[in-house]
């Protein structure tokens, strides 16, 4: 028989964990289902300076550990499993996972988003062999090597600065001639001696022998293609890709309203399906941050608890 809860939360990033805390404190029987480890994207973030009240030296993992402990303190259960299918209509929602099936009166979708890929030849072949989407995870492999960072947003520029602590030289490859990143982040980047910029450029192909050792870069204005080859002594270089995210919502397609794969909610995190809420990076919104994810989670849980109370 399926295990039953008042509220099932899908995803243990900042949105899901904040929802777990609020649902637990509302005395709802609550389960968080997470397919990997807690934290979502922020476990891949070296420094989090902009979560109010966070410790200045906080890393993603340390902040997440406190989020998790706090949710568990208020009785929220957690399980490692992958959601395969959902039935969200009606008063009893069914969440079918690889290992178990769960039933809930209300569901909060906090499934987050994952990094976008360039989509060029060689990218998939060399992932983990020179191509990375996580500076915190892989920066140390490139101690004293050259590294290229793709993207021009906050993530690309912040992670590029982080990489300068390890790599000999970091070059940001951006498809336009100005960054999208916040001005305060740009100011720091332009002052960083180890950071260089390759404007109006995109990677067309990644090559190597076992590990990345060359790539073809195209100038978006002139169409001219250049081969960038690893320094002879190094023999390899790194490519870190930070070009935005894709929502992890495939399993909810056709079940709740979406726009370009992101779940549509009202400002109380309600989807178009009664008793189903969405929180964090998986929903349509402008600012995707830890603080906005946590805020979404709190609102979603509060609304879900109200919905469950009204069912009784
Ligand atoms: P983003 O802001 O969407 O920036 C993506 C960057 O990648 C843009 O510069 C974009 O170029 C470029 N890009 C997109 N597709 C590309 C492609 N196929 N090939 C080459 N370049 C491509 O994404 P993000 O930097 O990951 O940030 C996501 C959200 O998290 C944002 O809201 C951001 O503010 C937030 N964030 C905040 C912080 C912080 O405040 N500390 C840190 C990290 C992230 P164009 O500029 O030409 O579009």
Instruction: Output the CA 152–ligand 1 centroid distance in Å.
Output: 6
Model confidence pLDDT, tens digit, residues 259-282: 999 999 999 999 999 999 999 999
Report, as an integer, the average pLDDT of 184-211: 97
Summary mean pLDDT of the chain: 94
Model confidence pLDDT, tens digit, residues 224-239: 999 999 999 999 999 9
> What domains can you pick out in the chain, each with its CATH number?
4-115+245-311 (3.50.50.60), 131-241 (3.50.50.60)
Model confidence pLDDT, tens digit, residues 91-127: 999 999 999 999 999 999 999 998 899 999 999 999 9
Does the beta carbon of 84 sit less than 6 angstroms from any atom of ligand 1? no
Q: Which of 58-62, 151-155, 194-198 has the lowest mean pLDDT?
A: 58-62
Ligand 1 binding pocket mutation candidate from 51, 154, 187, 292 (most atoms within 8 A of CB): 154
Q: Is the pLDDT of residue 134 over 80?
A: yes
User: What pLDDT sits at residue 46?
Assistant: 63
Active site residue 38: no
Model confidence pLDDT, tens digit, residues 277-300: 999 999 999 888 899 999 999 999
Say what the pTM is. 0.75
User: What pLDDT sits at residue 2?
Assistant: 86
Annotated catalytic residue within 38, 81, 138, 296: 138
Report, as an integer, the average pLDDT of 196-212: 97
Q: Cα–Cα distance between 282 and 201 in angstroms, integer?
A: 29
Q: Is the pLDDT of residue 16 over 90?
A: yes
């Amino acid at each position: 028989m399926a295990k039953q809860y008042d509220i099932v939360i899908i995803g243990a990033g900042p949105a899901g964990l904040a929802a777990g805390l609020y649902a637990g404190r509302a005395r709802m029987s609550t389960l968080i289902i997470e397919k990997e480890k807690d934290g979502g994207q922020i476990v891949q973030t070296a420094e989090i300076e902009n979560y109010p009240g966070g410790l200045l030296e906080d890393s993603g993992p340390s902040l997440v550990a406190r989020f998790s402990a706090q949710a568990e303190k208020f009785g929220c259960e957690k399980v490692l499993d992958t959601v395969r299918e959902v039935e969200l209509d009606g008063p009893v929602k069914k969440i079918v996972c690889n290992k178990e099936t769960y039933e809930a009166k209300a569901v909060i979708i906090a499934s987050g988003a994952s990094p976008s890929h360039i989509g060029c030849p060689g990218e998939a072949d060399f992932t983990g062999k020179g191509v990375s989407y996580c500076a915190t995870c892989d920066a140390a492999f490139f101690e004293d090597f050259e590294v290229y960072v793709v993207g021009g947003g906050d993530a690309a520029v912040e992670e590029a600065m982080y990489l300068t602590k390890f790599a000999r030289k970091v070059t940001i490859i951006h498809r336009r001639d100005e960054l999208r990143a916040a001005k305060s982040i740009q100011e720091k980047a332009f002052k960083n001696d180890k950071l260089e910029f390759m404007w109006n450029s995109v990677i067309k192909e990644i090559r190597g022998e076992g590990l990345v050792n060359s790539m073809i870069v195209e100038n978006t204005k002139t169409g001219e293609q250049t081969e960038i080859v690893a320094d002879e002594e190094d023999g390899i270089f790194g490519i870190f890709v930070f070009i935005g995210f894709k929502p992890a919502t495939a399993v909810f397609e056709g079940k709740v309203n979406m726009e370009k794969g992101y779940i549509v909610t009202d400002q109380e995190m309600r989807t178009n399906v009664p008793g189903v809420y969405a929180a964090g990076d998986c929903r349509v919104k402008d600012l995707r941050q830890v603080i906005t994810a946590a805020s979404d989670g709190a609102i979603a849980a509060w609304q879900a608890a109200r919905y469950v109370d009204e069912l009784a």
